[in-house]
Structure 1
Amino acid sequence: MSPPRYALYFLPETDSALDRLGRAWIDGVAADLTAEARVYGFHATLKAPFRLADDQDEAALRAACAAFAATQAPLAEGPPTLALLDDFYALRPGAPSATLQTLAAECVRRFDPFRAPLNPAEKAKRLRTPLTPRQRQFLDQWGYPYVLDEYRFHLTLTRRLSPAEIPAVEQVLRPLTAEAVTEPLAVRSLCLMHQPAGGGFSMLARYPLEGACAS
């Protein structure tokens, strides 16, 4: 049996427009389009799923999350936008955000000591998708290819779509996302996620970002 995995996510704040969208869409009726997304939940990845290193445990990871979140200021971004990203639909920041990039990069770096190295099967799975030399370098260094300057903050809405499916899916998503794309994107917490063997991800804890905002 595979060991559990952990991850650091942005999850929409409770009762926000994004939260309502996630509950209606990801946890709703679009089973064919969202089967893969439901395993991970409606989220934006900050530190990709990883197994714990042999010299680490969950208690230490929880403590590190709390300490890190206490130093990070909450972020207030403009409303997100519905975007087609590599043949799947997602919500993306409406404009490039250096603050979101920095938060994700800090999560990658700060929590890498908790990550066990990729095993051969995990690495082979990643290499099934064509990667650039830079992405392969990041896969070897950080266990995930889409980090640092390759990172794109996004909340996945669908599986990959064929060209024929895209117009109909967009026609469904536009009205469903109408509220979410008018509400500012608030990143006020860091969520520690857990995936048991063979299961989906669930939230272990939500840590408020309590650092001082830049003046």
Structure 2
Amino acid sequence: MTARYAIYYAPAPESPLWSFGSGVLGYDAASGGSAPVIAPEGVAPADWAAMTAAPRRYGFHATLKAPFHLQDGVTEDDLVAAGRAFAATRAAFALPELEVTRLGAYVALQPSGRSAELDALAGACVEAFEPFRAAPDAEELARRQQAPLTERQKAALERWGYPYVFEDFHFHMTLAGPVADGLAPRVVKGLSRLYADHVAFATIRVEAVALFVEDLPGHGFRIVDRFVFAG
């Protein structure tokens, strides 16, 4: 088992939001190549490359079904077929306005409020793609367990392979991190300005979910397919 797959929300590759997020990370997961870098004013290029190294590996996204290996006997084609069947039952909806905010040591785009439709989509993805997920190995479990988890999150990790599901799901699209406390306000302010310039607070619609793959450990995740909703 080398490849890992994930179900993410990713904007359409032709959208301003995708261009913004991919530019901030310097990586375009749709093409699998680099993207022209967008960085906050006053941050040196080398420093920005270091601050975006961790999220760059995963591409611009919001997690719906966290990365997993496939069960024995399951193929990528099986997962694609399931994604298309899933999308055929879903309808598009608008996200609440997104804001650049701090998320612990990270900086991310997060909705200004909760969305029942978004929460329902995330929960449906966790359940619908579970039959394809192989149980995590001891190393992955140990890594997940290093985070401070509630009893509910520990139970979710055991059951679903990821602790932040259902009641503990929080939609976010990571832009940078870890970011030092002293630098975080400047990064948030600078990225907020860039977001306003590039996306202009357009209505963001969730019209699809995307299948990402990491072909080999440490390689960047890339988009395999986007499953566009029927409605």
1:146-165 correspondence runs (5 A): 146-165=164-183
Structure 1 match to 2:211: 192
Alignment partner of 1:204 out of 217, 224, 229: 224
1:78-117 correspondence runs (5 A): 78-117=96-135
Work out whether residues 112 and 142 of structure 1, in 8 Å CA contact, stay in contact via their aligned partners in 2.
yes
Structure 1 spans left out of the alignment, 5+ residues: none
Structure 2 match to 1:120: 138
Pair 1:36 & 2:35 matched: no
Question: For residues 52-71 of structure 1, what are the alpha-carbon distances to aligned partners after superposition, in whole Å with 9 as ceiling and x for unaligned?
Answer: 01132211111000000011
TM-score, structure 1 length as denominator? 0.93
Q: For residue 65 of structure 1, what is the amino acid of its counterpart?
A: G
Number of matched pairs: 210
Q: Distance in 2 between matches of 1:97 and 1:31?
A: 32
Pair 1:173 & 2:191 matched: yes
Deviation, 1:174, is 2.0
Alignment partner of 1:48 out of 66, 75, 81: 66
For structure 1, which segment, 109-118 or 75-84, has the greater mean C-alpha deviation from structure 2 after superposition?
A: 75-84
For structure 1, which segment, 164-173 or 58-67, has the greater mean C-alpha deviation from structure 2 after superposition?
A: 164-173
Structure 2 match to 1:182: 201
Structure 2 match to 1:5: 4
Alignment partner of 1:74 out of 79, 87, 92: 92
Work out whether residues 93 and 153 of structure 1, in 8 Å CA contact, stay in contact via their aligned partners in 2.
yes
Question: For residues 116-139 of structure 1, what are the alpha-carbon distances to aligned partners after superposition, in whole Å with 9 as ceiling and x for unaligned?
Answer: 001100100111111111111100
TM-score, structure 2 length as denominator? 0.86
Runs of 4+ off more than 6 Å: none
Deviation, 1:181, is 6.2
- What is the RMSD of the two structures over their aligned residues, measured on CA atoms? 1.4
Q: Distance in 2 between matches of 1:81 and 1:174?
A: 7
Q: Distance in 1 between matches of 2:203 and 2:110?
A: 12
SS in 1 for 2:57: helix
Q: Distance in 2 between matches of 1:71 and 1:169?
A: 39
Q: For residue 49 of structure 2, what is the amino acid of its counterpart?
A: A
Q: Distance in 2 between matches of 1:171 and 1:187?
A: 26
Deviation, 1:75, is 1.4
